[in-house]
Amino acid sequence: MDENVILTMRGITKSFPGVLALDNASLKLRKGEIHALMGENGAGKSTLIKVLTGIYPFEGGEIEMEGVEGQAINHSVQEAQERGIATVYQEVNLCPNLSVAENLFIGREPRTKCNTIDWKKMNSSAREIMKNLDIPVDVTMNLENYSVAIQQMVAIARAVDMECRILILDEPTSSLDDNEVEKLFRLMRDLKNKGVAILFVTHFLEQVYAVCDRITVLRNGQFAGEYTVAEMPRVKLVAAMLGKDLDDLASIKAEGSDTVRKDVVVDAKGLSHKGTIKPFDFVIHKGEVVGLTGLLGSGRSEMARCIYGADRAQTGTLTMNGKELKAKAPIDSINAGMGYLPDDRKADGLIGDLSVKENIYLALQARKGMFHPLSPSEQNALADKFIELLQIKTASRETPVNQLSGGNQQKVILARWLATDPELLILDEPTRGIDIGTKTEIQKLILKLAAEGKSVIFISSEIEEMLRTCSRLCVMRDGSKVGELDHDLTQNTVMTAIAGQGKEGEQ
Ligand X SMILES: Nc1ncnc2c1ncn2[C@@H]1O[C@H](COP(=O)(O)OP(=O)(O)OP(=O)(O)O)[C@@H](O)[C@H]1O
Judged by CB, which is closer to ligand X: 27, or 497? 27
Q: Which does 240 bind (CB under 5 to 8 A by kind): ligand X, Mg ion, none?
A: none
Cα separation of 272 and 160, whole Å?
A: 40
Cα separation of 409 and 422, whole Å?
A: 21
User: Among 26, 41, 152, 469, which residue sits at the site for ligand X (rule: CB under 6 A)?
Assistant: 41
**Total of chain residues touching Mg ion, rule CB under 5 A:** 5
Contact mark string toward Mg ion, 39..68, x via CB under 5 A: ------xx----------------------
**Total of chain residues touching ligand X, rule CB under 6 A:** 20
- Rg value, the chain, Cα: 24
Give the DSSP letter of residue 154. H
Contact call for residue 403 and ligand X (CB under 6 A): yes
CB of 222 to ligand X, least distance (A): 12
Residue 258 burial (10 A CB sphere; 0-12, 13-18, 19+): exposed
Region binding ligand X by CB under 6 A among candidate stretches 15-23, 129-137, 331-339, 371-379: 15-23
Q: Which does 469 bind (CB under 5 to 8 A by kind): ligand X, Mg ion, none?
A: none
Closest to 93 in 3D by CA, of 141, 46, 43, 136: 46
Contact call for residue 406 and ligand X (CB under 6 A): yes
Beta-bridged to residue 228, according to DSSP, are 214
H or E element in which residue 64 lies: strand 60-65
Closest to 52 in 3D by CA, of 84, 100, 5, 4: 84
Contact call for residue 335 and ligand X (CB under 6 A): no
Contact call for residue 90 and Mg ion (CB under 5 A): yes
CB of 39 to ligand X, least distance (A): 5
Segments in 400-435 forming alpha helices (H): 406-419
Q: Which does 393 bind (CB under 5 to 8 A by kind): Mg ion, ligand X, none?
A: ligand X
Contact mark string toward ligand X, 72..91, x via CB under 6 A: ------------------x-
Cα separation of 220 and 65, whole Å?
A: 25
List of residues 6+ apart from 222 with CB closer than 8 A = 23, 24, 25
Residue number with the smallest Cβ distance to Mg ion = 46
Q: Which does 287 bind (CB under 5 to 8 A by kind): Mg ion, ligand X, none?
A: none
List of residues 6+ apart from 397 with CB closer than 8 A = 355, 356, 357, 380, 383, 384, 387
User: Among 28, 35, 45, 300, which residue sits at the site for ligand X (rule: CB under 6 A)?
Assistant: 45
φ, ψ (nearest 5 deg) of residue 87 = -135, 140
Q: Which does 36 bind (CB under 5 to 8 A by kind): Mg ion, ligand X, none?
A: none
Reported residue count of the chain is 507
Contact mark string toward Mg ion, 205..234, x via CB under 5 A: ------------------------------
Q: Which does 176 bind (CB under 5 to 8 A by kind): Mg ion, ligand X, none?
A: none
Region binding ligand X by CB under 6 A among candidate stretches 38-46, 125-133, 192-200, 233-241: 38-46
- For 275-347, list the strands marked E by DSSP: 277-285, 289-293, 315-320, 323-324, 338-341
User: Among 7, 9, 12, 19, which residue sits at the site for ligand X (rule: CB under 6 A)?
Assistant: 19
List of residues 6+ apart from 401 with CB closer than 8 A = 350, 351, 352, 354, 355, 356, 359, 409, 412
Contact 401, 356 (CB under 8 A): yes
Q: Centre a 10 Å sphere on the Cβ of residue 19 and count the other Cβ atoms it contains.
A: 19
Contact mark string toward Mg ion, 393..432, x via CB under 5 A: ------------xx--------------------------
Q: Which does 408 bind (CB under 5 to 8 A by kind): Mg ion, ligand X, none?
A: ligand X
Contact call for residue 404 and ligand X (CB under 6 A): yes
CB of 41 to ligand X, least distance (A): 3
List strands edge to edge, sheet with 214-219. Answer: 85-88, 166-170, 197-201, 34-38, 214-219, 222-228
Give the helix, strand, coil percentages of the chain, each rounded to 5.
Answer: 35, 25, 40
Cα separation of 272 and 315, whole Å?
A: 5
Cα separation of 74 and 52, whole Å?
A: 7
Largest CA distance in the chain: 75
- In 3-state terms, what secondary structure has residue 495? helix
Region binding ligand X by CB under 6 A among candidate stretches 204-212, 256-264, 401-409, 479-487: 401-409
Judged by CB, which is closer to Mg ion: 74, or 410? 410
Contact call for residue 21 and ligand X (CB under 6 A): yes
Q: Which does 44 bind (CB under 5 to 8 A by kind): ligand X, Mg ion, none?
A: ligand X
Q: Which does 273 bind (CB under 5 to 8 A by kind): ligand X, Mg ion, none?
A: none
Judged by CB, which is closer to ligand X: 37, or 265? 37
Contact call for residue 42 and ligand X (CB under 6 A): yes
Judged by CB, which is closer to ligand X: 279, or 437? 437
Contact call for residue 405 and ligand X (CB under 6 A): yes
Contact call for residue 294 and Mg ion (CB under 5 A): no
Residue number with the smallest Cβ distance to ligand X = 407
Contact call for residue 46 and ligand X (CB under 6 A): yes
Residues near Mg ion (CB under 5 A): 45-46, 90, 405-406
Instruction: List residues binding ligand X (CB under 6 A).
Output: 16, 19, 21, 39, 41-47, 90, 393, 403-408, 435
